[in-house]
Amino acid sequence: MERKFSSKKIVALTAYDYSFARLLDTSDLDIILVGDSLAMVSLGLETTLPVTMEEMIIHTRAVNRGCHNALLVADMPFMSYQVSDEQAITNAGRFIQEAGAQAVKLEGGARMAGRIQALTNAEIPVMGHIGLTPQSVNKLGGYRVQGKNYKDARKIKQDARKIQEAGVFAIVLEGIPDDLAGEITQDIKVPTIGIGAGVQCDGQILVLHDLLGLGMDSSPKFVKQYACLGDKVKKAVSSYIQEVRDETFPDEEHSYKSKTHNLKSVSDAPQQ
């Protein structure tokens, strides 16, 4: 909340496992989100819809083991909070109690305000997520930028106000025009964290694999790739295959030696 009024942007990334969580946590990152993008990035699913609570819990636990500095937020998967307040509190509570998350994130605007209120009443900090909400892909008819016309933009601004009133501590603005994101950021008191929402938000989040060049073949316009690790991985694996096949690995440097070099004489020695 204080960061909203400081000039230092909030920086967030997703992580899905212990190794990456450790690496991210040693940097000056503010938030690690175990996003339901896990479904597509790590589990190879077509959308985020099929990922389950059990899968999200396992990955959040693993990330938690490597996360000691950043705020750990777990994404509530599709159908883990839509049915009732009770279902939402039970599942969000599992992320906190069983997996070590400090907050949960859920998608939806005004229509989710009551649910968010129920969670915050249960002492569970909630991050909101509005604009292009991937769990609504079937309703939205695809992954399209939202709020491009006046009516839709007003609705998204209203969504931000409603979930702020319900108690979110921050709001992810995904896939909306930069001027609308700027207007919402000025309008509300809690920080906005953009993804495909331009530079005027209070913070930014990206999917880790997109930033590292480990993602899909084509990325959306808003993704900036800061490294090409995919190419590096492929090159390293080809070198390994080559060296094993031409017997240059394992070499002397990577092999153990027995104290007595003549193993045959050891096994042939008469038993006492």
Beta-bridge partners for 128: 106, 171
Residue nearest to ligand KIV (CB): 35
Q: Which is nearer to ligand KIV, 72 or 195 (CB)?
A: 195
Q: Give yes or no for residue 207 binding ligand KIV (CB under 6 A).
A: yes
Residue 124's nearest CA partner among 83, 160, 98, 90 is 90
Extended strands (E) in the chain: 10-14, 31-34, 71-75, 103-107, 126-131, 170-174, 192-195, 203-206
Contact at 8 Å (CB) between 147 and 125? no
Which of the following is catalytic: 174, 183, 247, 252?
174
Q: Which is nearer to ligand KIV, 89 or 207 (CB)?
A: 207
Report how far residue 224's alpha carbon sits from residue 204's, in angstroms, rounded to the nearest whole number: 12
| Contact range with ligand KIV by CB under 6 A, out of 33-41, 55-63, 111-119, 245-253 | 33-41
Q: Of the candidates 36, 159, 183, 202, which one interacts with ligand KIV according to CB under 6 A?
A: 36
Site string for ligand KIV, 91-130 (x = CB under 6 A): ----------------------------------------
Q: Nearest distance from residue 133's CB to ligand KIV, in Å?
A: 9
Contacts of 1 (CB under 8 A, 6+ apart): 169, 189, 190, 191
Report how far residue 131's alpha carbon sits from residue 109's, in angstroms, rounded to the nearest whole number: 8
Helix (DSSP H) and strand (DSSP E) numbers for the chain = 11, 8
Q: Which is nearer to ligand KIV, 220 or 230 (CB)?
A: 220
Q: Of the candidates 172, 180, 190, 214, which one interacts with ligand KIV according to CB under 6 A?
A: 172
Q: Give yes or no for residue 37 binding ligand KIV (CB under 6 A).
A: yes
Helix (H) / strand (E) element for 113: namely: helix 113-121
Q: Of the candidates 205, 212, 214, 223, which one interacts with ligand KIV according to CB under 6 A?
A: 205
Site string for ligand KIV, 12-31 (x = CB under 6 A): --x-----------------
- The residue length of the chain stands at 272
Q: Which is nearer to ligand KIV, 164 or 192 (CB)?
A: 192
Report how far residue 222's alpha carbon sits from residue 198's, in angstroms, rounded to the nearest whole number: 8
Report how far residue 125's alpha carbon sits from residue 161's, in angstroms, rounded to the nearest whole number: 17
Q: Of the candidates 24, 32, 35, 202, which one interacts with ligand KIV according to CB under 6 A?
A: 35
Q: Of the candidates 70, 118, 195, 223, which one interacts with ligand KIV according to CB under 6 A?
A: 195
Active site residues: 174
The site for ligand KIV (CB under 6 A) is made up of 14, 33, 35-37, 75, 172, 174, 195, 205, 207
